[in-house]
């Protein structure tokens, strides 16, 4: 196995970006560069993510892989624009990411799931179970941390739905991917 000599992680979007020329909004997007890969993990809630990438001097045409950590709009909102510009870049997400995710509000429920058009992307690959993509990237599913969830998560719910395009989606659980440190290779 090839050792990961350098790992570069650049936040493209998150709630509190403070750098000049960067826009902050609720959501997350990270650019990660390894020996072999240029990855995007989550795409924020809008195309403002790509404005931030340009401001950081990141050439999105060199990105070779996209991951969505879970099926919420604030982690997937910039994906359709990215996929239109880079249609051959593989996009990986957990098989249940297309579920009907809602947040309970005082005035009712708000849909917080991904745009259903994402599920029609030709570059989309569903992850089921732990998966090794190559010597650098392994995907772990069903990770359930033993900690207290933030109070805001108590408002989240998933409505049961059956989709005809690939599978019946199960309850959402977070998943992570890992790039093993050089000491483990």
Domain boundaries, position 50: 8-184
CA distance 160 to 162: 7
CATH number at residue 156: 3.60.15.10
pLDDT, mean of residues 98-126:
92
Residue 114 lies in a domain: yes
Q: What is the pLDDT of residue 182?
A: 38
pLDDT, mean of residues 35-47:
95
Strand 100-105 relative to strand 8-13, pairing: unpaired
**How many domains, the chain?**
1
Residue 30 has pLDDT above 90, yes or no: yes
Residue 1 lies in a domain: no
Residue 2 lies in a domain: no
Residue 118 lies in a domain: yes
Q: What is the pTM of this model?
A: 0.78
Residue 138 lies in a domain: yes
CA distance 71 to 55: 27
Residue 121 lies in a domain: yes
């Amino acid at each position: 196995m090839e050792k990961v000599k350098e790992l570069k992680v650049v936040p493209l979007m998150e709630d509190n970006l403070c750098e000049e020329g960067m826009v902050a909004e609720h959501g997350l997007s990270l650019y990660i560069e390894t020996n072999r890969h240029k990855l995007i993990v989550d795409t924020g809630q809008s195309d403002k993510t790509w404005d931030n990438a340009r401001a950081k001097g990141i050439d999105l045409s060199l990105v070779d892989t996209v991951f969505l950590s879970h099926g919420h709009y604030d982690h997937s909102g910039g994906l359709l624009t990215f996929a239109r510009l880079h249609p051959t870049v593989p996009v990986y997400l957990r098989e249940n990411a297309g579920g009907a995710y809602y947040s309970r509000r005082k005035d009712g429920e708000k849909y917080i799931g991904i745009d259903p058009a994402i599920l029609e992307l030709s570059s989309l690959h569903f992850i089921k179970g732990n998966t090794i993509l190559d010597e650098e990237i392994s995907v772990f599913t069903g990770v359930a941390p033993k900690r207290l969830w933030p109070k805001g998560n108590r408002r989240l719910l998933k409505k049961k739905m059956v989709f005809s395009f690939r599978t019946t989606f199960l309850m959402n659980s977070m998943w992570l991917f890992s790039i093993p440190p050089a000491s483990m290779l």
